[in-house]
Amino acid sequence: MTRWLVLMVSCLGIRTAHADDPAYLCKQAPPDMKLTASFSPQVSLQDLATWVLGFSCKNIVIANDVAKHATKMTIMAPKQMTPKQAMQLFVDAVEANGLVVVQKPDSILIKLGPNMPKNCPDLTAAPRQPKTSGVIPLGGGTPTPTPAVDMSDEDYAKAMAAGIKRLDGTHVEITRATVDLLLANPMEATKGARVVPAMTGGKVDGLKMYGIRPGSLWAMLGFANGDTVKTVNGLRIDNAETGLDVYQKLRSEKRFEVALVRGGKPVVLVLTVK
């Protein structure tokens, strides 16, 4: 299985926000849609909330004192779910940890339950421990969680630069070790760019990339500010659902042709895993 495609789908098809970029990409799922998800052991509350946001498009507020508990949980969901069932799974999982979930028409509030201590130590300030990535999409078999690597931003950037080789303006080679490092630190891949739906005639027609920072992962891979991604190996990626479909079809590939529009002209980026 080519895990590079998992990264590509995750970054292009599902928007994850970070501190200086609060926008999320979501698509409200129809009531009869069937959702499938698999979670790594000890998934964090933040990862779980991001999953729910992706299909519900609801604002999610996690109280500050909840964050201090560093809440993690283990969830096993073997069957497909409707959005309503998936939301109930989220509520049940969170409340099983003693928290309270308050659902409003446009928002979800997560706060401490009445029996939880209000003055527990600030666990978010403790040294970070090795972890695994949070939500893992189901594919042909259950993927093995990749241990996260705790390293400084400077060391991470150096590792990326060493493992990504620009052959020319549209051809890039990336080593397998670099792909493994990216998958071990999925949040790093979301930095340095914003990804939003590109609309044409009121319909999603690709994914628009903004704010690509010089020296970021996206810049190293050959993307430029304002690029609109249309397809990967001829298959469209409009949202999380189509992204997972692309993953299923291309998971054994090692060469990815990303068709995009740049400055009104078509461009094809060729990414090869060595």
User: Whole-angstrom Cα distance, residue 58 to residue 134?
Assistant: 20
Answer yes or no: do 131 and 157 share one domain: no
Q: What is the pLDDT of residue 78?
A: 80
Q: What is the pLDDT of residue 222?
A: 92
**pLDDT tens digits, one per residue of 199-211:** 877 777 888 888 8
Neighbouring CB atoms inside 10 A of 101's CB total 17
CB 51 within 8 A of CB 60: no
Answer yes or no: do 124 and 160 share one domain: no
User: Is a pLDDT exceeding 90 seen at residue 37?
Assistant: no
CB 229 within 8 A of CB 237: yes
User: Whole-angstrom Cα distance, residue 50 to residue 67?
Assistant: 15
Position 20 in a domain: no
Answer yes or no: do 103 and 177 share one domain: no
Boundary of a domain, candidates 80, 110, 136: 136
User: Whole-angstrom Cα distance, residue 249 to residue 132?
Assistant: 25
Answer yes or no: do 94 and 159 share one domain: no
Q: What is the pLDDT of residue 64?
A: 79
Distance set, CA 224 to CA 112, 130, 135 (Å): 43, 33, 28
Q: What percent of the chain has pLDDT over 70?
A: 67
Tokens representing residue 160 in the block: 């990326």
Across 8-12, 119-123, 147-151, the highest mean pLDDT is recorded for 147-151
Q: What is the pLDDT of residue 4?
A: 47
Tokens representing residue 168 in the block: 């020319």
For 200, the domain range is 153-273
Answer yes or no: do 206 and 172 share one domain: yes
User: Is a pLDDT exceeding 90 seen at residue 26?
Assistant: no
Model pTM score: 0.50
Quickly state the pLDDT bin for 132 (edges 50, 70, 90).
Answer: very low
Answer yes or no: do 121 and 160 share one domain: no
User: Whole-angstrom Cα distance, residue 165 to residue 178?
Assistant: 11
Position 268 in a domain: yes
User: Whole-angstrom Cα distance, residue 135 to residue 203?
Assistant: 28
User: Is a pLDDT exceeding 60 seen at residue 143?
Assistant: no
Q: What is the pLDDT of residue 250?
A: 65
Higher-scoring residue by pLDDT: 146, 226: 226
Q: What is the pLDDT of residue 29?
A: 83
Provide the CA 6 distance to its chain's centre, in angstroms.
Answer: 10
Position 192 in a domain: yes
Answer yes or no: do 177 and 250 share one domain: yes
Give the CATH number of the domain where residue 44 resides.
3.55.50.30
Answer yes or no: do 89 and 200 share one domain: no
Answer yes or no: do 260 and 162 share one domain: yes
Q: What is the pLDDT of residue 28?
A: 82
Question: Any alpha helices (H) in 109-226, and if so which ranges?
Answer: 153-163, 176-184, 186-189, 217-220
**pLDDT tens digits, one per residue of 102-113:** 999 889 999 888
Q: What is the pLDDT of residue 190?
A: 65
User: Is a pLDDT exceeding 50 seen at residue 146?
Assistant: no
